[in-house]
Chains A and B, each alone.
Chain A
Amino acid sequence: MPAAKAQAMISGLHLVDADPAGDALAIERLALWMLRQYTPVVAMDSLDGIVMDTEGADHLRGGELLMLTGLVNSLRGRGLQARGAVADTWGCAHAIARATRREVIIIPVGETAKAVVNLPVSSLRLPSDIVSGLTELGFRNVGEVSATSRAPLTLRFGPEVGRRLDQMFGRLAEPIDPIRTAEFVEVSRSFSEPIGAAETIARYIGKLVVELCAALETRGQGVRRADLIIYRVDNTLQSLRAGTAKPVRDIAHLTKLLCSSIEKIDPGFGIDKLSLAATMIEALEDKQSISSLVEETIVDVTPLLDSLGNRGQRMYRLAPVESDVPERNVGRVSPIAAKLGQAWPTRWPRPSRMLAYPERIEVIALTPDHPPASITWRGKRRRIKRGDGPERVFGEWWVRSSEMEAVRDYYSVEDEDGNRFWVYRSGDGVDPATGTAKWFLHGIYG
């Protein structure tokens, strides 16, 4: 539609010139962000899309559906309307994402053929003259094209139609060439004879790491994330990713990180190229370490944290949070966060194990401020011999408005056998506005 006609139809239409170069740059920026965020193999898909190989990367985000929903939602948070599809092949995902109206769609493994038969011919990624030629011949969807014998089609339109069909149905491999920018450092090694043994792969990973570290050293940088891309002889890609908590240029450490997941590599008929790219780089200057023969050296534990973290374990340290409510006064911080040395200000003994949620207990106690005489917890009645308290904790109205007047009275109690518990009464025992006067068990003393 010409611009003049559009303006005639809608008054006050705002016109913006198309900016293909700007769009391409923006997509490239997005692709780089996804490369850092999601998976090592990301590329631009025609002019308006991004393709990612998420095999082996989706479990880190809770599965394919959660990963894709999260991705689409975070793009929407940036003001971008996006549609996502996960499928067996690039061709299928490309077609489905553009044809569907849904934001997120997952094509189960092996159901590619069923999903694409009704898609229009235009979703085959063919040049526009071939698409119009096929439409003229009466082909309406992909299923009809794929059901036609291949020879006449090839005679008329060339090999492109067959190739795209094979790529869509997964009969022809279509490796994704991962996006790279000048700031990435990439080293690669091709083999004249395909390699396959784990020891050989490990040896070449070691050689690549040496090259990568040498390249980084000249730039004064260290790697935060390294992606190893494995090109197999049957033209498929695999990738391994290793992340570090701090910039690293230590050959032994990087090699160990990459080799720790070597069993995930499936060499198939052989590997003919390995490529190692540093996709997140930070400045790392050599520092002179001050060593003293008298004091004991402080060991840097980040290599251990890296290898645990690359296996997907959650790591944290605890740190005090300014709050009197027990479940809120412990926070989790990164294990490499600065050690601030603060302590919890409490002088009361605290239980060593806390229940995830306070559990209701039946209590016989003298109100308002005596420790219980007996408690019944998890069906067992315990007579209390000693008790200490109350320690009054006030609700935090700035966190939740329902805690405006809430009060908890905490008591430490000890039963006949010496088991000690931390129990509390909701409310001060006099004013019903402060709580329900029900009792809860919150922690177990050691």
Chain B
Amino acid sequence: MLNSAANPTIADLRERIQRLEGRAVRKGEVLSFGLAEIDARLPGGGLALGALHEVAGGGADAVHGAAAALFVAGIVARTKGDVLWCLTRPDLFGPALAQAGLHHDRVIYVEADREEDVLTNFEEGLRFGGLGAVVAELVRLPMTASRRLQLAAEASGTMGIALRRWRRPTEAADFGQPTAATTRWRISVLPSEPLPVPGIGRARWLAELIRARAGEAAEFEIGACDATGRISLSPHARDGQDQTRGSRNFA
């Protein structure tokens, strides 16, 4: 009876309820992986732009954060604009990020001495609103802090990625604590694609979508980022041909 288009109050209420439910999907607000299998599992068909996402490494990578960093680099490489990368331990290797499609001219590193400063920088970057994405390497992410970050990201429409990285493997149990992040990923390394010749093929990861707001958990076996930051679903073709090999070399 009541047409929502005719009654702006109802439409407004409906939108607010949707936002409470986490289903506020407006056009252009998601960054899809370009893989139907993964995008279908994410509400809105991709990673929401104005939202906080959490990525951690699995196994030994919980400490090193090497695969998780590349996964994040591949995601932010596909956003537009500069990227702010907040950290305390400056051990990222620029050429590797460039090979994942994230050009070094786009990344501004903000190095802080204390973990709290990283959180402050992260939030300030998210509130600024002119960046493509903000990444922060964090040990701890309390619920309150993550809520603030999520709200900051929603307000500015900037994607925030908390790259969780612990000092000891035992601390990684902290990843079970709830946060306000929209999605939560765990990236573990898998043995690389076999090649018919001696050598190491394209890296493969097990990407576990542990939590997705208004979505379901899932896990995927994926091939590591190519030169444009795109992952691929792990190919079962046994001829061992890495189709992206030709292009990834020009990162």
Contacts and interface: CB of A to CB of B under 8 A. Distances in A.
A354 B93 contact: yes
Interface string B75-119: 000001110100000011111111110011101111110000100
Contacts of A445: 66-67, 96, 203
B191 A350 contact: no
B69 interface: yes
Contacts of B248: 349
B112 A313 contact: yes
Given A299-B131, A304-B125, A343-B251, A418 B192 contact: yes
Given A304-B130, A352-B97, A314 B191 contact: no
Contacts of B105: 317, 339-341
Interface residues of B, number: 58
B117 to A, nearest CB: 7
B81 A343 contact: no
A346 B98 CA distance: 11
B92 A446 contact: no
Interface string A342-358: 01101101111111100
A446 B71 contact: yes
B9 interface: no
B190 interface: yes
Contact of B66 (A313, A320, A351): A351
B112 A355 contact: no
A238 B69 CA distance: 44
Interface in B98-157: 98-100, 103-105, 107-112, 117, 120-121, 124-125, 128-131
A313 B130 contact: no
A419 interface: yes
A356 to B, nearest CB: 7
B177 interface: no
B109 A317 contact: yes
A106 to B, nearest CB: 24
B110 A315 contact: yes
Interface of B is mostly: mixed
Nearest to A296: B80
Contact of B124 (A298, A307, A319, A329): A307
Given A301-B82, A414-B191, A318 B94 contact: yes
B77 to A, nearest CB: 13
Contacts of A305: 108
B200 A388 contact: yes
B51 interface: no
A352 B82 contact: no
B111 A314 contact: yes
Contact of A420 (B111, B129, B130, B203): B203
A319 B249 contact: no
B60 interface: yes
Interface string B201-237: 0011000000000000000000010000000000000
Given A304-B128, A353-B69, A316 B111 contact: yes
A351 B93 CA distance: 7
B176 interface: no
A441 to B, nearest CB: 11
B199 interface: yes
A350 B70 CA distance: 11
B189 A418 contact: yes
B64 A353 contact: yes
Contacts of B81: 298-299
Contacts of B110: 308, 313-315
A314 B85 CA distance: 12
B69 A352 contact: yes
A329 B95 contact: yes
Given A352-B92, A414-B191, A343 B103 contact: yes
Nearest to B195: A386
Contacts of B120: 311
B45 interface: no
Nearest to B94: A318
B64 A444 contact: yes
A347 B98 CA distance: 11
A23 to B, nearest CB: 42
Contact of B109 (A318, A329, A356): A318
Interface in B149-207: 189-192, 198-200, 203-204
A318 B200 contact: no
B200 A353 contact: no
A343 B248 CA distance: 13
A16 to B, nearest CB: 50
A330 interface: yes
B131 A446 contact: no
Given A301-B128, A319-B104, A443-B93, A313 B192 contact: no
A344 B105 CA distance: 12
A341 B103 CA distance: 8
Contacts of B82: 299, 301
B111 A313 contact: yes
Nearest to A319: B104
Smallest CB-CB A-B distances: 3 pairs: A299-B130, A446-B70, A318-B94
Interface of A: 296, 298-301, 303-305, 307-308, 311, 313-320, 326, 329-330, 335, 339-341, 343-344, 346-347, 349-356, 385-388, 412-414, 416-420, 443-446
11 contacts: A313-B110, A317-B105, A349-B99, A352-B67, A385-B191, A386-B192, A387-B198, A416-B191, A445-B67, A445-B96, A446-B96
Given A315-B110, A344-B98, A446-B68, 8 more contacts: A298-B81, A308-B124, A313-B111, A313-B117, A343-B98, A413-B200, A417-B191, A446-B61
